[in-house]
Amino acid sequence: MQKLISILFLAILASCNNQGTTAEKMDSVSEQTADREREQTPPFKDNTADAGGCYMQVIGRDTIVASLQQDGAAVSGRLSFDNFEKDGSTGSVTGHRNGDVIKLLYSFASEGMNSVMEVYFKLQADALTRGIGEMDVKGDTAFFVNPGSITYPSSGTIMKKLPCESVLEKYK
């Protein structure tokens, strides 16, 4: 959880040097990420399990919720970090799935600043495990330095799938 807070803090700090629009930066990061992924990942493999649905993890009084839709390899939706007595964030995610890995760009507002962060999840049975790895910040965007070294620890952020009807409206 501390790594998550550190990453969010870095993203917020970097957004203070906000130049250009977030949409322009998302396009730039999307292009850079797409170039990097074309070099590092094989073509999309169609798994039978659809990643679409709602996922949640509650740790103490902190809640993380993802609401995803999958259309072929394309994945989109919303992601929320609701932290107790700390600033949280909610925003949209867009990206794609390759095998059991979902690669997303998370565009969110926190403390009045707009930021973008690269987020990877591994789909495992009825859960999403968040990937961790070394990150860097450029402008208002946090991204993985070496996507090939991302790990998905069993002691990390693991969101369990649940019926979307059971998710509070503020997370949808």
pLDDT in tens, 58-108: 988 899 999 999 999 999 999 999 887 777 789 999 999 999 999 999 999
Rounded to whole angstroms, the Cα distance separating 55 from 128 reads: 7
What's the chain's Rg over C-alpha atoms?
A: 15
Position 49 scores a pLDDT of 74
For residue 170, the one-letter residue type is K
Position 109 scores a pLDDT of 84
Identify the burial level of 85 via C-beta atoms within 10 angstroms of its C-beta, where 0-12 means exposed, 13-18 middle and 19 or more buried. exposed
Percent of the chain past pLDDT 90, that is, above it, reads: 51
Beta-strand ranges (E) seen in the chain are 53-59, 62-71, 74-82, 89-98, 101-110, 113-124, 127-130, 135-138, 141-144, 158-162
Most confident of 27-36, 42-51, 81-90: 81-90
Beta bridge partners, 4, equal none
Average pLDDT of the segment spanning 7-33:
46
Q: Phi-psi category of 145—alpha, beta or left, where left has phi over 0 and alpha has psi -120 to 50?
A: alpha
Average pLDDT of the segment spanning 11-38:
48
Q: Phi-psi category of 63—alpha, beta or left, where left has phi over 0 and alpha has psi -120 to 50?
A: beta
Asked if pLDDT for residue 30 goes beyond 80, the answer is no
Tell if the pTM clears 0.75, that is, is over it: no
Rounded to whole angstroms, the Cα distance separating 72 from 47 reads: 10
Least confident of 3-7, 60-64, 66-70, 114-118: 3-7
